[in-house]
Chains A and B, each alone.
Chain A
Amino acid sequence: MGMITDSSTVSSGSAPQLAHPPTPVPRISDPLKAQVESFNFFYANGFQALHGINMPIADNQVTALIGPSGCGKSTLLRSFNRMHDLYSKNRYEGRIILLPENINLIGPELDPIEIRMRVSMVFQKPNPFPKSIYENVAFGLRVRGETNKRYIDERVEKALRGAALWDEVKDNLDKSGFALSGGQQQRLCIARALATDPEILLFDEPTAALDPISTAKIEDLVVELKKTVTIIIVTHNMQQAARIADYTAFMYLGQLVEFDQTNQIFTNPSNPMTEQYLTGRFG
């Protein structure tokens, strides 16, 4: 995994001033799943939350987005499945290319529902639907019009196994999703996201509401899942990023300050701000 620095990728525009200018994004040699290019994001009130983001997303790897609250990491994550389209007058600029087809995820000609079928998401707070465990997992298939009972059965079991939940719930598939513990609910949400065979799985601080044991289970799961799916995870927990991520992006004030392999960022960050954040001097 050699690094080739691409100095032309950072565009500042009207970006707020950082104490240290962003470090150029290294070009990675891993095969890519997606590529963020000159990406800006504006909320409905005109606030620009993201400034000229350039970032590669490696295929079948875990990419962590870290940074202090309000740095735009969740905003960036939620752009991958077009969640911002739910609220009118939000505006994207630039491109997020999905490979290998080379399509622009945020292109207005693309139906966000199509995107969400390929890019699934797990939220900060477990959000099972008011349905049985089985129906929670089958939801994505059902909204796609799938009615073949045997096929759905198969996919539900596969997804629950993939989320390391099958053994705990296989005898209670008809029970409400709310009957599970917080950690189990979060794994149920992961199973729900897996059931439709997404290409990218987005995690928005998936362990923020969980106890340490449940957190460890989710972390193990994320590492296991990257064999089959590309993962992007937002986390406030830097140790978590260090434990599970292959690549880490440090963001601040809506800009990508530094992007690199995780061990590089944590052991030898090239931007002084990254080091200050990692050592707890701000954020």
Chain B
Amino acid sequence: MTDLSPASSTTETTVGFDLRRTGNTWQRIKEGIIEGILFVAGISSVVITIGIVVVLLSETIPFFTVPETKTIYTPTVEGAQTLTISKIIAPVGTYVDKGAPVVEFSSPAGSAVLTATASGKILKILGEVGTTVEMNKHLVDISHLVTLRDFFVDTLWAPVFDDPRYGIWSLISGTLTTTLVALFVAIPVGTIIAIWLSEYCYPNVREVLKPSLELLAAVPTVVYGYFALLIVSPVMQWVLGMFGITMGGFNMLSAGLVMGIMIIPYVASLSEDAMRAVPIQMREGSYAMGATRVQTALRVLVPASLSGITSAYILAIARAVGETMIVALAAGQRPNFTLNPTQEAATISAAIVQATLGDLPHDSTAYRAIFAAGLMLMLITLFFNIAGYLIRKRYREAY
């Protein structure tokens, strides 16, 4: 008699099977190694990204939370040799706003007031009422904390000045202007090249042209930088001169134009890939409706490959936003809150390079400012990536 109770059943019923349990031992080890390599490769990009964010935040947070001591010097009065402190308006321990009077002086040539160059708490005053002090000497220390307001509302970036300023907008304006100029070049030219390569060009010509175009992206950016400064800039000066516009040797226009040339391959090559990936039956469907080549390209293929083309644009934008060498060489390195491309200006990346070339002490606020600027750069890129993701999601076509 057969016992049917499950407890004594000797055969196990397997529902489905574990793929990792198939094959012999050696095969399983091999598969395991490959799986491991794939996992490490996949996870490394995530880990690196997180690591970068952690580093940026670890310096950016102290930038906004650790106060720095600012020294204020006695004012000068013409005709006087020394000043005498007549009144202390803001004693040690009080908070003052920027521009608020701190100490009043009198002298034979007239009176003077020392005002706070930054908001914060008065740490010390080297003197008291009646003390005679020399002009232009260290007198007051203020403990100043960089606020989000200093960062986002101020329009001057000068972290190493005696009166440091951290207005990120003067750098963002430079970054946006050069990027916009670059996109004005790269998006039309790159897209037209992509359409031409994918729809008009003979296949064997494309085989030669596309790799040569991609070489443009392989030129070292320092070469592009000097190209912009020494060739494009004088040419643009001459061209604009004909319209009566004068432009300095350092300008965002030439830097942006050359950056645009540099990112053409990103736009053209990736857009062309996307357009060629459109299924043949969609292309034929358009021609079968009596459409011309231009109509097929612009009304069917471009919309059909819009998600790929958007990716190409986003990559090009990210590349332009982060580009350093061209703008550092050709756009000048003077932070300048303007969107006028004929002006010189510094971008975020150029300012970072410039700051790190000097010898900034590691614990200084100016040093931390670099990381805050770097975080902004990353946020801008992230913004464009998210925008691109949303556009791709909106236009993704399932053919």
Q: Which residues does A use to contact B, with CB under 8 Å?
A: 81, 83, 86, 113-114, 116-117, 120-121, 123-125, 127, 129-131, 139-140, 142-144, 176, 178, 189, 192-193, 196
Contacts and interface: CB of A to CB of B under 8 A. Distances in A.
A192 B295 CA distance: 16
Interface residues of B, number: 22
B300 A193 contact: no
B7 interface: no
A210 B348 CA distance: 56
Given A129-B282, A178-B397, A143 B291 contact: yes
Nearest to A192: B289
B284 A123 contact: yes
B300 to A, nearest CB: 5
Contacts of A140: 289-290
Contacts of A113: 290-292
* Secondary structure call for the B interface: helix
A139 B287 CA distance: 11
Interface string B291-321: 1100100011001101000000000000000
Contacts of B292: 113, 143
A131 B303 CA distance: 8
Nearest to B296: A143
B290 A117 contact: yes
A83 B281 contact: no
B290 A127 contact: no
Given A121-B288, A129-B285, 8 more contacts: A81-B288, A116-B288, A116-B290, A127-B399, A129-B286, A129-B303, A143-B292, A192-B289
Given A178-B397, A178-B398, A130 B300 contact: yes
Residue among B281, B288, B398, B399 with max Cβ neighbours from chain A (10 Å)? B288
Contacts of B290: 113-114, 116-117, 140, 143-144, 196
A193 B304 contact: no
A235 B285 CA distance: 19
8 contacts: A114-B290, A116-B289, A127-B285, A130-B306, A130-B395, A139-B291, A140-B289, A143-B292
Nearest to A86: B287
B351 to A, nearest CB: 42
B287 A83 contact: yes
B279 interface: yes
The 6 A-B residue pairs whose C-beta atoms are closest, nearest first, are: A116-B290, A121-B288, A127-B285, A127-B281, A143-B291, A117-B290
Nearest to B286: A129
Contact of A120 (B289, B303, B306): B289
Candidate in A114, A143, A144, A193 with the most chain B CB atoms within 10 angstroms: A143
A86 B399 CA distance: 21
Contacts of A81: 288
B15 to A, nearest CB: 31
A86 B284 contact: yes
A143 B291 CA distance: 6
A51 B289 CA distance: 28
A86 B288 CA distance: 10
Given A129-B304, A130-B300, A130-B306, A196 B398 contact: no
B202 to A, nearest CB: 8
Given A86-B284, A144-B290, A127 B295 contact: no
A4 to B, nearest CB: 35
Contacts of B282: 127, 129
A113 B205 CA distance: 26
A90 to B, nearest CB: 14
Nearest to A113: B290
A193 B291 CA distance: 12
Contacts of B397: 130, 176, 178
Interface in B38-78: none
A192 B397 CA distance: 19
Contact of B289 (A86, A124, A178, A193): A193
A143 B299 contact: yes
Contacts of B285: 121, 123, 127, 129, 189
Nearest to B283: A86
A20 B299 CA distance: 49
A116 B291 CA distance: 9
Contacts of A176: 397
Contacts of A114: 290
Interface string B261-281: 000000000000000000101
Q: Which residue, of B279, B292, B300, B395, has the highest number of chain A Cβ atoms within 10 A?
A: B300
A127 B286 CA distance: 9
Nearest to B302: A130
Contact of A83 (B279, B284, B295, B299): B284
A123 B287 CA distance: 12
B190 to A, nearest CB: 21
Contacts of A144: 290
A125 B285 CA distance: 10
Interface in B365-399: 395, 397-399
A189 B289 CA distance: 10
Contacts of A117: 290
A129 B278 CA distance: 11
A123 B292 CA distance: 19
Nearest to B284: A83
Contacts of A123: 281, 284-285, 288
Contact of A139 (B279, B281, B284, B289): B289
A129 B306 CA distance: 12
A232 to B, nearest CB: 13
B289 A196 contact: yes
Contact of B279 (A127, A131, A142, A193): A127
A176 B279 CA distance: 17
